[in-house]
Chain A
């Protein structure tokens, strides 16, 4: 039963997410693509792209979209996909919500406690590794194309990757601008020029 699995999987993703939207992308990728096989890496990448150009927390957006796609890919009607979308976003916030209600009254006092601070700094460092692994795992023929199939796509992908990496890190260009720009490049090269 995919709905039960969806609930359980996104509950897990919610409660183990320390470190923001990108850490959650790493967790969702691992659970939904690698472990459950609910969607392909290319579909997941498209979900992440779409989730960055719409308003709201990225974690919620990715969960909602991934919930929809997982259910529809499993052969259900789109209306069940809508149910899957709501279920995934509900599950991903359920446990953190309860924890916030229970813990916030005393954690406000303890958030500066040395042990809490040490645990958080170790988690912060760990999450960097998590995101790095997610990025490395996303370098696939599905996202970059292959040299044998289309040298043009392969080299253009590498070029776009390098440009986006540089512009994001050194020029502080935001994700929305980069996604829109690369979408225009994709449209012109792969559709307009028929590449």
Chain B
């Protein structure tokens, strides 16, 4: 069983030393939690990944909350979460303040002028990557299409689109799925 200090330290390392977002933390989490400390088994770890993906919010934070909670209840959940996000918050905050101070600086502006179109590409690329993993087909391609058009052309809030989709999925799953083609 993990102590609060151990929990904090493990998640601190996981949060501080992973570049590339929440999913990039999975290998380090597995090494730290499953291999090194054996707080949970590999199968349990996979279950927690599925759970953290199903729940809303931030994937890595959800992982930390659930594993912390398993180890040490609510205090464990708080400590694991804090450990996970403390350094990232401090680092990005320091950068935010420095970049704000440097606003209008010709060098910074030149760098970002080059970076901005690449950020757009980095947001566009996952669309195609995710389309593959979500098993897009001729029966369901209209769902992302309609969602994008509602937001882009009609200015509908993405939150409403999520709500409608969740409700639609529920109704479909509960009443219609058996009779029709699977999504």
> Which of B1-9, B29-37, B166-174 makes up part of the contact surface?
B166-174
Q: Give 1 or 0 for each of A134-153: 1 = CB within 8 Å of chain B CB.
A: 11111100111100000001
Closest to B62 in A: A100
One of A16, A68, A164 near B117 (C-beta < 8 A): A164
Closest to B165 in A: A126
CB of B130 closer than 8 Å to a CB of A: yes
- Pair B114/A185 contact, Cβ less than 8 Å: yes
Chain B contacts for A49, CB-based, 8 A:
112, 115-116, 118-119
Q: How distant is B94 from chain A, measured CB to nearest CB, in Å?
A: 9
Q: Is the interface of B mostly helix, strand, loop or mixed?
A: helix
CB of A187 closer than 8 Å to a CB of B: yes
A-facing residues in B1-57 (Cβ within 8 Å): 15-23, 25, 47, 50-51, 54-57
Chain B contacts for A21, CB-based, 8 A:
21-22, 58-59
Closest to B147 in A: A129
Count residues of chain A with CB under 8 A from any CB of chain B: 114
One of A53, A60, A120, A161 near B120 (C-beta < 8 A): A161
Q: Is the interface of A mostly helix, strand, loop or mixed?
A: helix
CB of B181 closer than 8 Å to a CB of A: no
One of A52, A72, A132, A179 near B148 (C-beta < 8 A): A132
CB of A74 closer than 8 Å to a CB of B: no
- Pair B56/A165 contact, Cβ less than 8 Å: no
- Pair B57/A97 contact, Cβ less than 8 Å: yes
Q: How distant is B118 from chain A, measured CB to nearest CB, in Å?
A: 4
- Pair A100/B169 contact, Cβ less than 8 Å: no
- Pair B124/A133 contact, Cβ less than 8 Å: no
Q: How distant is A61 from chain B, measured CB to nearest CB, in Å?
A: 5
- Pair A69/B107 contact, Cβ less than 8 Å: no
21 intermolecular pairs with C-beta atoms under 8 Å apart: A16-B159, A42-B116, A45-B112, A45-B115, A46-B115, A50-B92, A60-B85, A60-B88, A64-B93, A82-B93, A99-B56, A101-B77, A108-B51, A118-B169, A127-B162, A129-B151, A131-B126, A133-B148, A164-B118, A182-B114, A190-B114
A60-B61, A143-B119, A190-B109 given. 9 additional CB < 8 A pairs? Answer: A49-B112, A51-B92, A96-B56, A103-B55, A123-B166, A130-B162, A131-B126, A138-B119, A178-B122
